[in-house]
Amino acid sequence: MCYYNAIKIKANEIIQLKNLGQKVLQTDLFCPVQSGFDYPQWPVIVAAGNLSWEIKMMEWGFIPPYLKNRAEVKKMRDGYKMDNGKFKPPLIILNAIGEEILQVKKMFRQAALMRRCLVLSSGFYEWRHVYPLGKKGLPLKTSLKYPYHIKIKDTSCFFMAGIWQSWTDKDSGEMVDSFAIVTTAANSIMEKIHNSKKRMPVILPEPLAAEWISDTLDENRIRELAVYQLDSSIMEAYTVAKNFREETDPMRPCNYPELPELVI
């Protein structure tokens, strides 16, 4: 899955989408690590009509349209005790499974059909699970987790497929645009890193990114792009500190001598 993202783009850098033109960034976009569990504002690209696009700040964490107010959003995200005394677990909607977003009864269907976006990223973080051997030479039941920073070679910015939703708090009138990152089955490098779930964000090359936010896609093409698997040869990954979220530079490489080599 993709729950920790990073953005590091300087003002005056050019962001370009094939056939949709380019824009010069007016201000820095800098956040070396951000947890989706904080439900932050994050820069995303949406179509703006007439073959143009714009960058908007949206809340990371898809808000279903059936929720009435912020109190209900909080209950959904935190979990709550039901009338029968049982605890209702949190519903975390930071990601949307690409294989399922067009299913008829899924909450994402209308967004996938009508409101697709591109989530800007300079890199993201995932954990690799390694099971050390015990005294008898057998893998232990509890894994050790090693965080990796994953990026695209030779680029400061890339595009993750997303879907977004406008939501209004019926009590306060607050209007919120929220999004989720679309995920697909892991490619050869990501299945070695994110080896517990074997998923990865849908990362779209520039031509496909422009196509994703166009208004001309039929359901078959949406379905194809929603499970697109980026070629692992253009990705690079390295380990970072286990407490990278507290580090001054979360992207700083950190080596672990005991960690088996990542073999692709």
Query: What one-character DSSP code corresponds to residue 233?
Result: G
Structure tokens at 104: 């008829």
Q: Which domain holds residue 139?
A: 4-246
Structure tokens at 38: 């904080």
One-letter amino acid for residue 242 of the chain = K
Pairing of strands 175-185, 52-60: parallel
Digit-coded pLDDT (tens) for 133-164: 777 777 778 889 999 999 999 999 999 999 99
Q: CA–CA separation, 57 vs 36, rounded Å?
A: 14
Tell me, yes or no, whether 259 lies in a domain.
no
Task: Give the CATH number, domain containing residue 236.
Answer: 3.90.1680.10
3-state secondary structure (DSSP) of residue 9:
strand
Digit-coded pLDDT (tens) for 25-55: 989 999 999 999 999 999 999 999 877 899 9
3-state secondary structure (DSSP) of residue 28:
coil
Q: CA–CA separation, 201 vs 129, rounded Å?
A: 18
Q: CA–CA separation, 241 vs 227, rounded Å?
A: 31
Number of domains in the chain: 1
* pLDDT above 80 for 212: yes
Tell me, yes or no, whether 256 lies in a domain.
no
